[in-house]
Amino acid sequence: MPNIQLQKGEFWEKSWKKHIQDYLKAPPRAGIFIANYFKNIKTVLEIAGGSCRDSRYLANIGYKATGSDFDEKTLNYLQNELFINDKLNYSKQDAFNLTFANDSFDLIFHNGFFIYFNDEQIKQMLKEQARVAKKYIVFFVHNSKNKKLVKIFENKAKSDELYKVRFFNAAKTVDLIKNSSINYKNIKIKKFGGFYDLFYKKFLKGWIPNPVYPFRKLLIPKLYQLQKWENTERICCIVELEK
C-alpha cells in the first residue's frame, strides 16, 4: 500500500531541504540513458523532477527540456538560487493534471515517481502523460527482484519516510500500461542502475584511473543490460505511443 504522506507537497518541501544536495551530486543517469536511447526527440518534459538533475542534463546537451514538479518551493530554489543561468525551463505541475496542451513534448519521463502510488493513480497519470506526450513515455521504477535493495529500503524507512516506497517487477509495469486506457505501439523494458554505476567515478577504489570513464555515457546504459535482474536497481519502461 503506498504511503499517503509521500503524495503530499508538505512532505516533499521538507524532505528536499534534507536531500537535495545528495541528489544533485549523483550523475544524471536517467538523462544519459534517454540521450543514448532516443535519436529522434527534441522536446522533453520531466515530471516529478525534484532536483531536475536529469532534465537539466538534457537541456545542457541541447534538448528543449522542461523540469517540473508540484513542489514549487524547491523549483524556485533551484531556478533562483542554485542554477541562475539554467537552460532548463521550470514549470510547476501536478502529475494528475498537467497544464500543457495535447502533444506538447516528444517525450515525457520520470524517475522514481510511480513508486509512491497505487495502480489506479498510476493509470490515471499515464493517461495524462499520453495526452501531453507526442511520441514516448519513459519511466523508471524500483525493481522488486533486487532483494538486497528492497532490504536496504526497508531499513532506511525506519528513520526516513522517503524510503517507504513500492517496488515493481517488469511484468507488473507492462500490465499497468496494458490495463490503462492509453494507445501505444509498443512497450520495451530495459535494465537500469546497478554495479556498472561504479564507472561513473573517475577513479576506482579512490585511486585507480577508471578506463571506462571517457566512454561512460555511451557504455554504462549498455552495460546495465548485461547484468541479472536480481542485481538491477530499476526497471526502465519505454512506451511508444500510438497517436
Q: Which long-range contacts (CB under 8 A, 24 or more apart) does 4-7 make?
A: 5/161, 5/164, 6/116, 6/161, 6/162, 6/164, 6/165, 7/116, 7/117
Count of residues that bind ligand SAM according to CB under 6 A = 18
In the bound state with ligand SAM, the residue whose beta carbon lies nearer, of 72 and 204, is 72
Eight-state DSSP code of residue 40? S
Q: Which amino acid is at 240?
A: E
The answer to the question of residue 48 lying near ligand SAM (CB under 6 A) is yes
In the bound state with ligand SAM, the residue whose beta carbon lies nearer, of 51 and 143, is 51
Q: What is the smallest separation between the CB atom of 154 and ligand SAM, expressed in angstroms?
A: 17
The answer to the question of residue 12 lying near ligand SAM (CB under 6 A) is yes
Instruction: State the CB neighbour count (10 A cutoff) for residue 52.
Output: 30
> Measured between alpha carbons, how far is 74 from 20 in angstroms, rounded to an integer?
9
The answer to the question of residue 195 lying near ligand SAM (CB under 6 A) is no
Among 33, 51, 114, 217, binds ligand SAM (CB under 6 A): 51
Q: Which amino acid is at 67?
A: G
Question: Within positions 90 to 129, which residues make up the interface with ligand SAM, using CB under 6 A?
Answer: 94-96, 111-113
The answer to the question of residue 233 lying near ligand SAM (CB under 6 A) is no
The answer to the question of residue 53 lying near ligand SAM (CB under 6 A) is yes
In the bound state with ligand SAM, the residue whose beta carbon lies nearer, of 50 and 194, is 50
Instruction: State the CB neighbour count (10 A cutoff) for residue 188.
Output: 13
Bridge partners (DSSP) listed for residue 186: 240
Cell numbers given for 196: 556498472
In the bound state with ligand SAM, the residue whose beta carbon lies nearer, of 197 and 210, is 197
The residues binding ligand SAM (CB under 6 A) are: 7, 12, 23, 48-51, 53-54, 69-71, 94-96, 111-113
